Structure 1
Amino acid sequence: MLRLLLTGWMLALLAGCASPPPPPPDGWQTLAPGLTHRAWAPWQNSDVHALRVDLGRVRVTLSPPGEAGQPLDQMPSRRGALASINASFFDREFRPRGLTVSDSQPWPALLKAPATARDPLLACDTTCTIRFDAPAAPESGWRLAVSGTPWLVRDGNARTAADDASCANLCAQTHPRTAVGLDASGRQLIVLLAAGRRGDLKGLTLAQTAQLMRELGAVQAFNLDGGGSSTLLIGGESRLPRPLNEPALRRVANALHLTPR
């Protein structure tokens, strides 16, 4: 009997050693130096993922034009990335909406969309900034620029349901989402993705997305392409639940990659 008890105790001890450590109390888990991830449900029937990126330790890059039309998990540029997300809105030829720059080179064919010049964008040289007065051409030194629409947080003020009413389908209805923002210091990039189109899991409105971005510390933020395009790869593996009608990763125009500096 004593031998059986000791054997059971040893097995329990070994099982406990093999168990993964519990998640931290605030839900954030470190993926790499300068990069943390959190997954939670801020509302009933929601599934949200966020990344906090220390831009002093993690570099942001945009996939090149030659990879347009590929799903994220097949883009060669994702190799070595700690995490990757989808980026630009695009047309049927995978031309991105708004000013777009990869590796200091502007994309050759920009989608001519209404109010493109007013689309917010994320631009990076040695640091990153979010511009709501996007120029017609990239500024000197920009190695990356990616545009989206519409704004989510501007100077610390988050959009509301009243703002969403002006674009009912894109804004006020619930969809899977992808968004980016910067904190007040400009040294932390904040990324948010929401799953949706999965039965009771519908997604978020843009006002809800903006509320979460502000709670995460973003003082400037805007919306990237969402719906079936919303994709989060961590270590090359898809981590955002897919829409039930679109289980495979969608082909997209480009992707933002987070790599160690």
Structure 2
Amino acid sequence: MRSTVQPSLAVGLAVALGLSSCAPVPDGADAALEDAVPAQPAMPPVYETVRLPSAIAHVMTIPDPVRYPVQVAVVNDLARVDQIVSQVCEGEGCAAAAINAGFFDPNNGLTTSYVMQDGALVADPNQNDRLIGNPDLTSYMDRILNRSEFRRYDCGGTPSYDITFHQEPVPAGCALVDAVGAGPQLLPQDTSVEEGFIDRTVARDALGSQSPNARSAVGLKADGSVVLVMVAEVPGVSPSGMTMAEVAGLMGDRGVTQALNLDGGSSSTLMYDGTTHYGRLNSAGDLVQRPVKSILWVANPDWGVE
């Protein structure tokens, strides 16, 4: 299922007035429609904090991902989310929000997820020998290299978003602009087994899905909204955070129909309006600021670079 933007108000009004696309349009009708349909105001991202006894969920809803597109950024060397955002601001325009995204190997700084940026493959897990050459992962490699990803398409000039497996073809009439792999999918169902995260025959649970933890996720609603979620641990509470099922429930309660788990734990970070929220606490109860490989960032059209 692909989440797309809503039809224009002008189209809807034309139908309501009986102006079929097959019927001749009276002279001046276009102007009348333009006068009758005011320009739709921008709907900026909406930030919400959900405080629970053992978790703090930072929820960012982007109701207008056309005006506020959700894009991908990746760095060659690991960097904190706010540092990557600073680079984005220098090169392309500032960000209204950002969240950590794909998996990576902290030992060598190389990706374990596919990442596409502006139509080009900029991070390839096949180039990570510690992943590809790991004998413990050989039986799972086909599934690892087909894990789910968040995608942004250009469909005839209209942005469209999807969450799907890496090898899923691009819809006809669309071009793949950005993509970042992670996984598993949380909604409409959990795909941990299909993606090699869970193997019940050997009690394998690579992400500790059933244990509370700091977590990050991205979701899509039926109305086209994009939702970013970062779950943080609570100081002085142990265990703290959420299981993956709990994250899925939180997102489902907010109308999300498709959801993708992103890198979590110490990587979990969400930045909004100049404030950075971190997910993981160390043994002393201090927030952990861990460098990451890639982010999803929300462009703010009102914050251009002079």
Same fold by TM (over 0.5)? Answer: yes
User: Match of 2:230?
Assistant: 193
* Corresponding residue to 2:166 among 134, 138, 141: 134
Q: CA deviation at 1:199?
A: 3.0
**Conserved 8 A contact 2:265-2:280:** no
Please give the alpha-carbon distance, in whole angstroms, between the structure 2 residues aligned to 1:199 and 1:65.
34
Q: Does 1:84 align with 2:98?
A: yes
Q: CA deviation at 1:232?
A: 0.9
User: Match of 2:13?
Assistant: none
Q: CA deviation at 1:254?
A: 1.0
User: Match of 2:145?
Assistant: 117
**Conserved 8 A contact 1:62-1:255:** yes
**Conserved 8 A contact 2:282-2:288:** no
Q: In structure 2, what residue type is equivalent to 1:251? A: P
**Deviation string for 1:188-236 (max 9, x for gaps)?**
1111111027330610000101111111111111100010100011123
* Corresponding residue to 2:122 among 84, 103, 107: 107
* Corresponding residue to 2:43 among 17, 28, 33: 33
Q: In structure 2, what residue type is equivalent to 1:247? A: L
3-state DSSP of counterpart to 1:142: strand
**Deviation string for 1:50-81 (max 9, x for gaps)?**
01112122111211333x40111222334210
Give the alignment of 1:1-261 within 5 angstroms. Answer: 33-41=43-51, 43-53=52-62, 54-66=64-76, 68-75=77-84, 76-79=86-89, 80-91=94-105, 92-110=107-125, 111=128, 112=131, 114=141, 115-125=143-153, 126-131=159-164, 133-135=165-167, 141-154=175-188, 157=189, 166=200, 167=205, 170-185=208-223, 187-196=224-233, 198-200=235-237, 202-240=240-278, 242-245=280-283, 247-261=287-301
Q: CA deviation at 1:86?
A: 0.5
Q: CA deviation at 1:118?
A: 3.1
Structure 1 residues 183 and 64, CA gap change in structure 2 (3 angstroms): same
Q: In structure 2, what residue type is equivalent to 1:153? A: L
Structure 1 residues 95 and 241, CA gap change in structure 2 (3 angstroms): closer
User: Match of 1:7?
Assistant: none
3-state DSSP of counterpart to 1:118: coil
**Conserved 8 A contact 2:111-2:123:** no
Please give the alpha-carbon distance, in whole angstroms, between the structure 1 residues aligned to 2:299 and 2:119.
17
User: How high is the TM-score relative to the length of structure 1?
Assistant: 0.75
Query: Which range is displaced more, 32-41 or 211-220?
Result: 32-41
Structure 2 segments unaligned to the other structure (5+ residues): 1-41, 133-140, 154-158, 302-306
**Conserved 8 A contact 1:164-1:207:** no
Root mean square deviation, CA, Å: 2.8
Please give the alpha-carbon distance, in whole angstroms, between the structure 2 residues aligned to 1:197 and 1:37.
19
3-state DSSP of counterpart to 2:248: helix
Q: How many percent of aligned residue pairs carry the same amino acid?
A: 24
Q: CA deviation at 1:106?
A: 0.4
Structure 1 residues 183 and 83, CA gap change in structure 2 (3 angstroms): same
- Residue correspondences, number: 222
3-state DSSP of counterpart to 1:228: helix
Query: Which range is displaced more, 234-243 or 49-58?
Result: 234-243
